[in-house]
Amino acid sequence: MRRIAVDAMGGENAPQAIVEAVLKAKKELPETEFILFGDEAKLKELVGSDRERVQIVPTTEVIQDEDEPVKAMRTKKDSSMVVAANWVKKGQADALLSLGNTGALLVCGIFIVGRIKGVERPGLMPTMPVQNSDDGFNIIDVGANAESKPEYLLQWAEMASYYAEKVRGVKNPRVALLNNGAEFDKGDALHKEVYQLLKDSNLNFIGNIEGHELLTGKADVVATDGFTGNAVLKSIEGSASVIIHLLKDSLMSNGLKVKLGALMAKPAFKEVASRFDTAKYGGAVLMGLKSPVVKQHGRADARGIYYAIKQVDKMLAENLIEAFKEEFSK
């Protein structure tokens, strides 16, 4: 039986959407048990009578988005996130899913769940959309580390490639390095060194990728330092959001004919939205920890949380952590 610890109090739609997602996923995952951490009364009410393979662990505190991560971990000892992380640490659960404060989850992951021996630094890895398929790509690290060293990026690329293959089913994933040009000698000292490390590795390294190529589907895995990765991820999300909002506003504020046209063209908008629907990829994985720790967007709805549960379950079913432990203990 696989046991997933679910921080039921994190995110905008907690705990309703979280419980809804758990109950839906449970039906499809007969080998999986769910341990919900949070407000006992609320969770009991939401779960109802369907308590098979669903355990509720009462906690009294919640880490808020505005809480300072390290302080929150240290002082909110009875928070749903910290207690859930401790269950994973003690081996009472096999993985952790949260929609809460990203910084706090990173800190709980690193300091409570703990790093795999031999992994230099954990890296945060979301799956992002590409324009021409539903496959998406993984990018790592997007901000767990402000400072990065060449070896970190090599390890991140190795873990992400393995993830892409086992969890996303990509055969022989194409790995690229985010850089400021196509040629092998591009970049600062860090990225030049990483290029060589990746070239000399067993990965299917296809060379450098530039910012404008990320969404084209050129690579299945993109390695980047945590500072650049963070800026790039947020820039892409921000640009998409700005364009979509502007377009919506313009369609609604240019008179009846435009509005009617927008209504008629709706299938096209839906098609584009579905290509950029990242909920189906699950959450961002903090790679390199002793157990899977996944952060789903705080704004995720039950559908997004359901996919994140499936993702965590798949990571457990494929024994990713065991493979990493073996690889990096060499």
> Residues interacting with a copy of itself, by CB under 8 A?
131, 143, 146-147, 178, 180, 186-189, 191, 210-216, 224, 226-228, 230-247, 250-251, 254-255, 257-258, 260-269, 271-272, 275-276
Measure the CA angle with vertex 223, ends 219 and 226; round to 5°. Answer: 140
Which CB sits closer to a copy of itself, 127 or 230?
Answer: 230
- Closest approach, Cβ 214 to a copy of itself, in A, equals 6
DSSP letter string over 123-142?
EEE-EE--SS-S--EEEE-S
In the bound state with a copy of itself, the residue whose beta carbon lies nearer, of 44 and 74, is: 74
Question: Between 48 and 238, whose beta carbon lies closer to a copy of itself?
Answer: 238
Q: Quote the tokens at residue 2.
A: 């696989």
Q: How far is the CB of 255 from a copy of itself (least distance, A)?
A: 8
Buried/exposed 225-243: b ≥16 CB within 10 Å, e otherwise? bbebbbebbeebeeeeeee
Please report how close the Cβ of residue 188 comes to a copy of itself at its closest, in angstroms: 5
CA-CA distance, 248 to 320, in Å (whole number)? 42
Token pair recorded at residue 148: 């990065």
165 CB neighbour count, 10 Å cutoff: 17
Angle at 313 (CA atoms; ends 304, 64), nearest 5 degrees: 50
**Closer to a copy of itself by Cβ: residue 236 or 317:** 236
Minimum distance, C-beta of residue 64 to a copy of itself, in the bound complex (Å): 16
Lookup result for tokens 């400072």:
147
User: By three-state DSSP, how is residue 175 classified?
Assistant: strand
Nearer to a copy of itself, 27 or 266 (CB): 266
Minimum Å distance from CB 156 to a copy of itself? 16
Residues 56 and 37: their CA atoms lie apart, in Å, by 6
Shorter beta-carbon distance to a copy of itself: residue 60 or 241: 241
